[in-house]
């Protein structure tokens, strides 16, 4: 069996599944339909999906719905009941139990923390960072929705044995988020690869230059990254440093599929002139 050909074939099939799940996240997702989209036997599809992506379809859907709910709690004033319904829960208590199991706190406590951030000093380190090469998928749209591009990237990476381990997720925000309308923002969802790794047409490569960066470690859900960005730029305005003409990057130090949201660690790297 030609292994590279098989990996490309599996990646194409699972990419279609990832796109379908994101497009129909509010619907009941039938495994038979997903198997048909992937052109896999229904007898084997679920095991293949779990082996490649590290979670079951049900776990993917629950994770994405709760992640979207966390974004709504952090960035909107929508009632918790409405957010629970959008996440597929028939009652607030059921949603609260699921959210607490995943995020370690109730939805109300999570929202309160967003409104009243903990008054803890965030340390910014000045660091000389080495270059990074990433295999990436382009995301166009609001920054919080970059997860769809990451799921498509994982569908490519999984059959190649690149998901997890020493290969880190990297987000590169190419647009000025303050001035670009959300629907027009461009970002890259990437995964670190070796400099000589050859990619196919399903993904592209992007080189992040070595340089001097201000680095802040964000601990916790991606939904609260905005607070760390605010802290980083508040630090910048009070520092003697100037930003370089290059985008910020986020480096995910652990895997959201295998890590509780409260334990996630993300480096925000701001390039310095």
Q: What percent of the chain has pLDDT over 70?
A: 94
Kindly state the tokens that stand for 5. 């050909």
- How many Å apart are CA 32 and CA 252, to the nearest integer? 33
Model pLDDT, residue 119: 47
> For the chain, percent helix, then strand, then coil, each to nearest 5?
45, 20, 35
Q: What percent of the chain has pLDDT over 90?
A: 34
Helices and strands counted in the chain (H then E): 9, 8
Task: Please answer whether residues 187 and 143 qualify as being in contact, where contact means their C-beta atoms are separated by less than 8 angstroms.
Answer: yes
Dump pLDDT digits (tens) for 12-35.
888 888 889 988 888 888 888 888
Model pLDDT, residue 269: 95
22 alpha carbon, distance to own chain's centre? 13
Whether residue 234 is predicted with pLDDT greater than 60 in this model: the reply is yes
Of the CA atoms within 13 Å of residue 108, those in its CB half-sphere come to 5
Mean pLDDT of 2-12: 68
Whether residue 265 is predicted with pLDDT greater than 90 in this model: the reply is yes
Dump pLDDT digits (tens) for 139-162.
998 888 898 899 889 888 888 888
Considering only residues 115 and 273, tell me which one the structure prediction assigns the higher pLDDT: 273
Model pLDDT, residue 104: 84
Model pLDDT, residue 118: 53
Of the segments 38-47, 132-141, 229-238, which one has the largest average pLDDT value? 132-141
- How many Å apart are CA 25 and CA 219, to the nearest integer? 27
Dump pLDDT digits (tens) for 46-92.
888 888 888 888 889 998 999 999 989 888 889 999 999 988 898 99
Give long-range contacts, CB 8 A cutoff, 24+ apart: 107-116.
107/69, 107/73, 107/80, 107/83, 108/80, 110/70, 110/73, 110/74, 110/221, 111/73, 111/74, 111/80, 113/224, 114/73, 114/74, 114/75, 114/223, 114/224, 114/227
SS3 239: coil
Mean pLDDT of 173-196: 88
- How many Å apart are CA 180 and CA 224, to the nearest integer? 21
Q: Determine which helix (DSSP H) or strand (DSSP E) holds 48, and give its type and residue range.
A: helix 45-53
Whether residue 45 is predicted with pLDDT greater than 90 in this model: the reply is no
Task: Please answer whether residues 167 and 157 qualify as being in contact, where contact means their C-beta atoms are separated by less than 8 angstroms.
Answer: yes
Label residue 2 by pLDDT band (50, 70, 90): very low
- How many Å apart are CA 223 and CA 107, to the nearest integer? 13
Of the segments 31-40, 191-200, 263-272, which one has the largest average pLDDT value? 263-272
Label residue 191 by pLDDT band (50, 70, 90): very high
Mean pLDDT (the chain, rounded): 87
Q: Determine which helix (DSSP H) or strand (DSSP E) holds 219, and give its type and residue range.
A: strand 211-219
pTM assigned to the model:
0.78
User: The dihedral of CA 23, 27, 30, 31: what is its sign?
Assistant: positive
Tell me the backbone φ, ψ of residue 144, rounded to 5 degrees: -65, -15
SS3 135: strand
């Amino acid at each position: 069996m030609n292994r590279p050909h098989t990996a490309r074939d599996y990646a194409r099939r699972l990419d279609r599944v990832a796109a379908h799940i994101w497009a129909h996240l509010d619907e009941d997702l039938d495994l038979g339909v997903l198997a048909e989209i992937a052109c896999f036997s229904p007898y084997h599809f679920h095991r293949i999906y779990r082996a490649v992506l590290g979670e079951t379809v049900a776990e993917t859907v629950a994770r994405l719905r709760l992640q979207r709910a966390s974004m709504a709690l952090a960035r909107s004033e929508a009632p918790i009941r409405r957010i629970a319904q959008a996440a597929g829960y028939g009652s607030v208590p059921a949603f609260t139990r699921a959210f607490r199991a995943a995020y370690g706190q109730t939805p109300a406590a999570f929202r309160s923390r967003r409104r009243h951030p903990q008054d803890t000093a965030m340390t910014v380190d000045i660091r000389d960072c080495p270059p990074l090469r990433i295999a990436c998928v382009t995301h166009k749209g609001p920054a919080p929705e970059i997860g769809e591009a990451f799921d498509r990237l994982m569908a490519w990476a999984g059959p190649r044995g690149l998901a997890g381990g020493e290969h880190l997720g990297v987000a590169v925000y190419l647009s000025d988020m303050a001035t670009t309308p959300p629907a027009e923002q461009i970002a890259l969802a990437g995964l670190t690869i070796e400099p000589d790794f050859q990619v196919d047409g399903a993904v592209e490569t992007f080189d992040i230059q070595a340089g001097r960066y201000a680095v802040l470690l964000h601990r916790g859900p991606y939904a609260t990254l905005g607070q760390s960005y605010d802290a980083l730029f508040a630090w910048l305005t009070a520092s003697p440093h100037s930003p370089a003409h290059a985008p910020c990057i986020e480096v995910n130090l652990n895997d959201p599929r295998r890590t509780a949201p409260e334990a996630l660690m993300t480096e925000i790297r701001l390039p310095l002139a």
